[in-house]
Amino acid sequence: MPITDLRLDLRGTPFQRAVWAALREIPPGRTETYAEVAARIGHPGAARAVARACAANPIALAVPCHRVVPAAGGTGGWRWGADRKRALLAREGA
């Protein structure tokens, strides 16, 4: 069973849950910016709030917040370390 098919019982605010659901739709090997995720969930201009929701994500691989990057380029930070984020993205071919 692919990890994206796991049923998760994530606890968070409605905004966080919307962000986390959107992150699970980003396919391996692809990235989106925080602003793109914000727009996709109907909150354009909420890129920083998306970043905070990513930082609060309790399940790193099942909710792939490592696939979200800053619009300015690079990988940005990550709760589990920027080096690990870069390694995951490289492994996925992003």
* Bridge partners of residue 33, in order along the sequence: 69
Catalytic (active site) residue 54: no
Cβ distance 19 to 53 under 8 Å?
A: yes
Q: Which of 65, 68, 88, 89 is catalytic?
A: 65
Q: Positive or negative, the Cα torsion across 7, 5, 82, 20?
A: negative
Helix intervals (H) in the chain: 14-23, 34-40, 47-55, 82-92
So which residues are the catalytic ones? 65
